[in-house]
């Protein structure tokens, strides 16, 4: 089916990204996987390419685009090549919308130019060892000092993507205790300088997949955060999270779709090349039927993702729409990628084959950004259930 979601500008951008990935990422990727992260300098290259500034207004050094579709193009091209840009998707797809929407003029002038160049990398820390799905249950606290000049931050976060390399982390913390009437009130976002005294990066976590993304534990012991680094209004962050999570979930849906489409291409190429019992694996009816099933599933995912991208650009993507898109694509991606791996036989289990990496990488899409169970709860609630 002809796709109508992307225009000429998106396609020209796709070419640029494809060439950049082939020249700058593919040759280095094995080394990055072994290191468990991309080199910090690579983010400067992404900055020079303009990747971090796409949606940043021109007055702060960006390109001033408002469409999320450029982000989708990057995700698709990374999946197609079987690689990633480390943890940097969090920088642009997750953190930037908070700074753009809730940052004041002074903060934008202070942070955005170096955000765009890759000199200042960001991460976002919501999840804690004791609470993930139930964000209102977070225990990290930020107490305003008596003279009102700074907050004192204490607590711990875990599973923070980009947490090792980040220069500023958007830390969600309680500035007031929860009340029985309002569990969600009293949470604020502080944009914490990672060189602050008392700020510590704990373990870089060993993961099943996403090997080039640095996922870390963070801890805060009496970290002084200037009041100038509070994002938006004190106590209102739960509303901010609810507003921004649909874009995060759309990004994950795009990624699940793109990984599935890539898996079908990897499998198709493999089965045409591989011979068993004197003929190609592609010649078996089972192979053709399996890949036809996968193609049909990928077409359905693409339709969902494209509609969601249009809705998001039009400002109409609801929390339930985004949850539904994430749920559908990530659950189906698991089935498609598993079938494509099966067609590779034992080679599909070897990490040197991109299908094995996709299999491992895609598993987390049903967990992060809100689990499938949480997505089902949101969709069911929107149905009045």
Q: Tell me which of 125, 190, 250, 341 binds ligand FAD, using CB under 6 A.
A: 125
247 binds ligand FAD (CB under 6 A): no
Q: For ligand FAD, how many residues bind (rule: CB under 6 A)?
A: 23
132 binds ligand FAD (CB under 6 A): yes
Structure tokens at 341: 């791996």
In 3D space, the residue among 209, 230, 220, 248 whose CA is nearest the CA of residue 375 turns out to be 248
| Cβ-closest position to ligand FAD | 132
133 binds ligand FAD (CB under 6 A): yes
Structure tokens at 45: 């290259």
Instruction: For residue 64, report the phi and psi dihedrals to the nearest 5 degrees.
Output: 70, 20
Q: Tell me which of 21, 364, 378, 379 binds ligand FAD, using CB under 6 A.
A: 364
- Write out the binding residues for ligand FAD, residues 150-179 only, by CB under 6 A: 159-161
Q: Tell me which of 120, 124, 301, 333 binds ligand FAD, using CB under 6 A.
A: 124
In 3D space, the residue among 330, 324, 326 whose CA is nearest the CA of residue 383 turns out to be 324
Task: Break the chain down into helix, strand, coil percent, rounded to 5.
Answer: 55, 15, 30
Structure tokens at 60: 């702060």
Question: Strand, coil or helix: what is 246?
Answer: helix
Near ligand FAD by CB under 6 A, which window of 103-111, 126-134, 261-269, 318-326?
126-134
- The enclosing H or E element of 78 equals helix 69-81
- Please report how close the Cβ of residue 309 comes to ligand FAD at its closest, in angstroms: 22
Number of H helices, E strands in the chain: 12, 10
127 binds ligand FAD (CB under 6 A): yes
Q: Tell me which of 210, 325, 340, 358 binds ligand FAD, using CB under 6 A.
A: 210
Near ligand FAD by CB under 6 A, which window of 103-111, 127-135, 141-149, 231-239?
127-135
215 binds ligand FAD (CB under 6 A): yes
Active site residue 248: yes
CB 95 within 8 A of CB 62: no
Q: Tell me which of 141, 219, 377, 382 binds ligand FAD, using CB under 6 A.
A: 377
188 binds ligand FAD (CB under 6 A): no
183 binds ligand FAD (CB under 6 A): no
CB 212 within 8 A of CB 32: yes
- Residue in 248, 310, 316, 331 annotated catalytic: 248
Question: Strand, coil or helix: what is 197?
Answer: coil
Q: Which residues touch 284 (CB under 8 Å, ≥6 apart)?
A: none
96 binds ligand FAD (CB under 6 A): no
Q: Transcribe 330-372 into DSSP letters.
A: HHHHHHHHHHHHHTTGGGGGSTTSHHHHHHHHHGGGGTTTS-H
Structure tokens at 135: 């964000």
- Please report how close the Cβ of residue 124 comes to ligand FAD at its closest, in angstroms: 5
CB-nearer residue toward ligand FAD: 31 or 373: 373
Q: Tell me which of 67, 154, 371, 382 binds ligand FAD, using CB under 6 A.
A: 371
CB-nearer residue toward ligand FAD: 325 or 343: 325
| Cα–Cα distance for residue pair 361/3, rounded to 1 Å | 26
Near ligand FAD by CB under 6 A, which window of 32-40, 238-246, 260-268, 367-375?
367-375
Question: Strand, coil or helix: what is 291?
Answer: helix
Active site residues: 248
Q: Give the binding site for ligand FAD (CB under 6 A).
A: 90, 123-127, 132-133, 159-161, 207, 210, 215, 364, 367-371, 373-374, 377
């Amino acid at each position: 089916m002809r796709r109508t979601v992307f225009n000429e500008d998106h396609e020209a951008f796709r070419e640029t990204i494809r060439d950049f990935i082939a020249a700058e990422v593919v040759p280095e990727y094995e080394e990055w996987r072994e290191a468990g992260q991309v080199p910090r300098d690579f983010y400067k290259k992404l900055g020079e390419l303009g990747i971090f500034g796409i949606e940043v207004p021109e007055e702060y050094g960006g390109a001033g685009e408002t469409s999320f579709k450029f982000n989708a193009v990057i995700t698709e091209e990374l999946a197609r090549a079987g690689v990633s840009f480390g943890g940097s998707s969090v920088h642009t797809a997750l953190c930037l919308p908070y700074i753009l929407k809730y940052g004041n003029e002074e903060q934008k002038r202070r942070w955005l130019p170096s955000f765009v160049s890759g000199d200042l990398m960001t991460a976002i820390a919501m999840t804690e060892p004791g609470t993930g799905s139930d964000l209102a249950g977070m225990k990290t606290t930020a107490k305003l000092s008596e003279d009102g000049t700074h907050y004192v931050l204490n607590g711990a976060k875990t599973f923070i993507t980009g947490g090792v390399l980040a220069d500023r982390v958007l830390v969600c913390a309680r500035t007031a205790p929860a009340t029985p009437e309002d569990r969600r009130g009293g949470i604020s976002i502080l944009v914490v300088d990672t060189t602050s005294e008392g700020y510590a990066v704990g373990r870089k976590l060993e993961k099943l997949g996403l090997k080039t993304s640095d996922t870390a534990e963070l801890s805060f012991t009496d970290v002084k955060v200037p009041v100038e680094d509070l994002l938006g209004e004190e106590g209102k962050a739960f509303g901010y999270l609810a507003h921004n999570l649909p874009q995060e979930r759309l990004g994950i849906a795009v990624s699940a779709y793109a990984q599935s489409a890539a898996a079908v291409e990897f499998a198709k190429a493999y089965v045409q090349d591989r011979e068993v019992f004197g003929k190609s694996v592609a010649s078996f009816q089972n192979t053709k039927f399996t890949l036809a099933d996968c193609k049909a599933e990928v077409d359905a995912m693409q339709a969902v993702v494209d509609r969601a991208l249009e809705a998001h650009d039009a400002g109409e993507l609801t929390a339930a729409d985004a949850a539904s898109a994430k749920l559908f694509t990530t659950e189906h991606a698991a089935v498609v990628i598993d079938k494509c791996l099966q067609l590779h036989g034992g080679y599909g289990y070897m990490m040197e084959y991109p299908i094995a990496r996709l299999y491992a990488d895609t598993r987390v899409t049903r967990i992060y950004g809100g689990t499938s169970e949480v997505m089902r709860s949101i969709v069911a609630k929107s149905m009045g259930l």
